[in-house]
Amino acid sequence: MREVMEMLEKSLLSDQHVALATVVRTEGSAPRAVGTSMLVTEDGSPIGSVSGGCIEASVIEAAAGVLASGVPELYRFGISDDDGFGVGLTCGGRVEIFIQKYVPASCRHFASVKRALDENLPCAMVTIFDGLPDVVGRSELVLQSAEMEELFEGTALAPEAVRAAGAAVQEAIASGITTSVTLPADIGTETPFSVLIDVYRPARRLLIFGAIDFSASLAQLGVFLGFHVTVCDARAVFATAERIPSAHEIVVDQPARYLQKEIALGRLAPDSAICVLTHDAKFDVPVLDVALRHGFAYIGAMGSRRTASDRRERLIGLGHTERSVAPLRSPIGLGLSASTPAETAVSIMAEIIAAKNQSSGLPLAHTSEPIHRGALEHAGSKSN
């Protein structure tokens, strides 16, 4: 829901009725991940996308029916004919879309989601999208380390199933990955529950050390990709909002000192990305020393191959080993022969994405691995 949050809030504030269509399960090479949402207004205007264009027309038509009836519905889409160019997914996958009506009176949890996001609190909106008609569409916001309290009230779901659902929610929040799970049927029925665990976590942090021209482009692309971007430089003349307008924060401080403070305050999750662009050993070696000793999902440093070799030697002189400096990606970025700041930013962010997904970064045409491998493996391990 995150990608349509702003428009959903505007619709609710203006008392408009909208339908929220959300991908709740996928199979095969589905084009969008579980949790991706699209809004459909009463006049049939779509906001967002659930398939990249394959099935949007059918989803809009279905949403009109949900808006008219007020009854949430689960729709399944796959290849609809032999050549795959009818109403369906041409990529060969299958996708399930849950469509529900959103009106101010029926979405009391929405304000809680907004507060949690504003306060950077990890949480998940848990919604029953398949099961007995009287519970389909129920939602509850669950904070990290908190228990579900309302979602299964009035049902005869076995206590162990409720505990399993709570554990699945907390596991999803901890991983930061939206998923869906299927629970056993109510006692006395044969209809299982399927729930969407739509995870909201604080934006992943991107720390850029060195306020140079390349930093401005990297900050802009990082913000575009949903990162919370901080640029830090000890030189106040360079570290200004005028030079790097896209960054969420501009910090004037010694890079290593600032990184140590952020770590001590618990503000940096393991999935944070550290990019050192200073081109100055007296700044970049100390901050890389701190970053490598703490450990982050991505640590990269700009410079030539000779600079990268010299930097490694200096780090080893500080007590590092070949193994401890192995996570350092230097020279930074994928091999795109990038030259301009904008091209270099694409090279760096592409490597950050590849590292996150444990992907090769090779052209898809030269590999045989599934296009959406990471998302599909996770969905397969979490859904029934």
Q: Find where tokens 């879309």 sit.
A: 97
- Rg of the chain, C-alpha, whole Å: 23
The predicted pLDDT at position 246 comes to 95
Given pLDDT bands bounded at 50, 70 and 90, which one contains residue 21?
A: very high
Give the helix/strand (H/E) hosting 250: strand 249-252
| Tokens matching residue 168 | 């699945």
Alpha carbon distance 348, 336 (integer Å): 10
Alpha carbon distance 313, 334 (integer Å): 23
The predicted pLDDT at position 160 comes to 85
Q: Mean pLDDT across the stretch 332-352?
A: 95
Percent of the chain exceeding pLDDT 70 equals 89
pLDDT higher than 90, residue 309: yes
Please answer whether residues 267 and 324 qualify as being in contact, where contact means their C-beta atoms are separated by less than 8 angstroms: no
Phi, psi of 98, rounded to the nearest 5 degrees: -100, 125
- For the chain, list the domains and their CATH numbers: 2-104 (no CATH), 109-202 (no CATH), 205-361 (3.40.50.720)
The predicted pLDDT at position 379 comes to 39
The predicted pLDDT at position 110 comes to 72
Q: Mean pLDDT across the stretch 280-284?
A: 91
Q: Mean pLDDT across the stretch 20-30?
A: 85
Identify the bridge partners of residue 180 per DSSP, sorted by sequence position: 196
**Residue 3 one-letter amino acid:** E
**Residue 352 one-letter amino acid:** I
Please answer whether residues 345 and 277 qualify as being in contact, where contact means their C-beta atoms are separated by less than 8 angstroms: no
| Tokens matching residue 293 | 């000793």
Q: Does 372 or 78 have the greater pLDDT score?
A: 78
**Residue 258 one-letter amino acid:** Y
Given pLDDT bands bounded at 50, 70 and 90, which one contains residue 13?
A: confident
pLDDT digits (tens, 9 = 90+) for 270-280: 999 999 999 88
Q: What predicted TM-score, i.e. pTM, was given to this entire model?
A: 0.71
CA 347 to chain centre: 20
Please answer whether residues 4 and 20 qualify as being in contact, where contact means their C-beta atoms are separated by less than 8 angstroms: yes
Give the helix/strand (H/E) hosting 96: strand 94-102
